[in-house]
């Protein structure tokens, strides 16, 4: 679990937009990128991010 204060200051490294936090990854709705959390450490390298469709993001949000 990531500290609540840290969650408030994290932003997408590509667009600097707000991130949605899930236990195992972050999602930027603007860029539609998924940033995985590996061994408790977010991987915010843009080249490692996974592209998501709008449908995938909506499904993730509904499952929250």
Which one, of 34, 35, 37, 29, lies nearest residue 54 by Cα?
29
pLDDT reported for residue 2: 84
Dihedral of CA atoms 38, 3, 60, 32 in degrees, nearest 10, equals: -70
pLDDT reported for residue 3: 87
Distance (Å, rounded) from C-alpha 26 to C-alpha 35? 5
- Residue 16, classed as helix, strand or coil, is coil
The domain of 42 spans 4-63
Domains: count for the chain: 1
Q: Could you tell me the CATH number of the domain that includes residue 27?
A: 2.20.25.10
Per-residue confidence in pLDDT tens, the chain, 64 aa: 788 899 999 999 999 999 999 999 999 999 999 999 999 999 999 999 999 999 999 999 999 8
pLDDT reported for residue 64: 84
pLDDT reported for residue 26: 97
Q: Considering the entire predicted model, what is its pTM?
A: 0.92
């Amino acid at each position: 679990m990531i500290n609540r204060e840290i969650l408030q200051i994290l932003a997408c490294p590509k667009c600097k937009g707000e991130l949605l936090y899930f236990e195992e990854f972050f999602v930027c709705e603007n860029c539609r990128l998924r940033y995985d959390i590996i061994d408790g450490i977010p991987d915010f390298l843009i080249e490692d991010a996974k592209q998501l469709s709008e449908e995938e993001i909506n499904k993730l949000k509904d499952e929250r």
